[in-house]
Amino acid sequence: MNKPIRRVSVFCLVLILALMVRTNWVQGVQADTWASNSHNDRNKYDRYAYPRGNIIVQGNPVTKSDFVNGLRYKYKRAWIDGPMYAPVTGWSSQAYDSSQLEKLEDGILAGTDSRLFLRNTLDMLTGKQKQGGDVVTTIDAKAQKAAFEGLGDKKGAAVAIDPATGKILALVSTPSYDPSTFAGGAADDAKAWTTLNADPNKPMLNRALRETYPPGSTFKLVTAAAAFENGVFQGIEDKTDTPDHYILPGTNTELKNASADEPCAGATVQTGMDYSCNTVFGKIGADLGKDKLRAQAEKFGFNNQQLDVPIRAAASFFPPNSSPDGTAMDAIGQHDTRATPLQMAMVAAAIANNGSLMQPYLVEEERSANLTTISKHSPKQLSQAVSAGTAQKLQQLMESVVKEGTGQKAQIDGLTVGGKTGTAQHGQDNSGLPFAWFMSYAKGADNKSVAVAVVVEDGAAERNEISGGSLAAPIAKSVMEAVLK
């Protein structure tokens, strides 16, 4: 063989070897990387090539897979009572990816989780169609419906928790949206997606988990907890040294109560809570100081940046560096204090559970398409927020608020109910319409209990009509009744 031919032959052999190496590198070493690449449209087609598993509420699916037999997609996701369950399920769209449980549990729902490998292999060998697994939630269908219907056309959110386990029994955000309207990839889906994202009322915002509000007077329970835990008071009938006119520390600004004729001067802790006296708890907070208040708030879950249920909740916030006058306002849930509805439900749950705060969770069980359990959640304690003795004093305060104070609209025959109202100011110079809060718990004769937090943003009401007792308490009452009665 002459020299030029030999060189060409060697060069061609090198090219063939390079091609073989490259092919094996791509198909072997880089296979998973390419398969999971966000620009690989085959992944989207494969996700909808077979029925997706369902999200389950009390034994019934709230999702389904509709057979559409399209050119690229064989199935499309659909929801049952979509707007009511959207804050729980999220969306799963051929064009716009997915969110919340649809995204976080995608491996189970799509059938691609490694724990389903054996099941998928057996289905392949027997010729059975591949199908995703199911995600069983902790949601109580009646409680979810009561919260959704109670909020109605109001803007707000509601969360209900089982204090003993941390199960989330209701998770509602309004206004809501129907994930079915943009589950496909057609022009109508694009129009629905654009309209929802442009809506100033933010229907796709999960207010229950992802929005923080000034908690207003509901935070006074945290302030009272800090006072009891630090030995400032021994019982709910202890008198406070609240003056007739309380001037915020270091300022000439007077902190006022809702009404000038309220019996707040020298009030007992119980009277201060019954009438929701700003002066009583503002002064207690300023006297305790920011560090003790923050430490107590954090035991209830504030400032937790990684609270996953498994959807990650926005961190509720108690400021570390407020001035003394700011601390007084922080202590009554104003100034820089912020909380999600989930957070205030956690405060109520910890109090009802004798101080033990359980990790809130939304997924009870993951299972394969043949109903074999893959994983099951075990309740666990998040913290001991307060001692059992302090929790019992806080229970007495909350139950007094419902019996004698601002929360009387939450009374339920046959149940022990405790609650705390809140009307939180916000906006420049408090110009915004207040947020109406109510956090509560109810206990039945069988010792079963539920904790609820409701917030209402009602821009349609007159300012003087907005209060936690009138707007939020009836909603919380309906949720507690749904769970316990």
The percentage of residues in the chain with a pLDDT greater than 90, rounded to a whole number, is 75
Query: Which whole number is the average pLDDT over 312-331?
Result: 97
Query: Which whole number is the average pLDDT over 428-435?
Result: 65
As given in the structure block, the two tokens for residue 435 are 């947020």
| 34 has a pLDDT exceeding 90 | no
Residue 248: which pLDDT band, with cuts at 50, 70 and 90? Answer: very high
Cβ atoms of 451 and 170 closer than 8 Å: no
What is the enclosing helix (H) or strand (E) of 437?
Answer: strand 435-443
Cβ atoms of 138 and 171 closer than 8 Å: no
Please tell me the least confidently modeled range out of 45-49, 198-202, 288-292. 45-49
Catalytic residue among 173, 217, 356, 440: 217
Kindly list the domain boundaries of the chain, sorted by start residue.
209-363+379-484
Return d(Cα 76, Cα 216) in angstroms, integer. Answer: 44
Q: Strand 381-384 relative to strand 356-358: parallel, antiparallel, unpaired?
A: antiparallel
As given in the structure block, the two tokens for residue 32 are 């998973």
As given in the structure block, the two tokens for residue 241 are 């040294």
Cβ atoms of 264 and 280 closer than 8 Å: yes
* Nearest of 348, 440, 437 to residue 403 by alpha carbon: 440
* CATH number at 209-363+379-484: 3.40.710.10
Local structure of residue 95 (DSSP, 8 states): T
Residue 10: which pLDDT band, with cuts at 50, 70 and 90? Answer: confident
Cβ atoms of 388 and 380 closer than 8 Å: no
Collapsing DSSP to helix, strand or coil, 447 comes out as coil
As given in the structure block, the two tokens for residue 13 are 């052999």
> What rounded mean pLDDT belongs to the chain?
91
pLDDT of residue 22: 77
Q: Strand 97-98 relative to strand 92-93: parallel, antiparallel, unpaired?
A: antiparallel
Please tell me the least confidently modeled range out of 256-260, 287-291, 314-318, 458-462. 458-462
pLDDT of residue 174: 98
Active site residue 217: yes
Residue 12: which pLDDT band, with cuts at 50, 70 and 90? Answer: confident
pLDDT of residue 114: 86
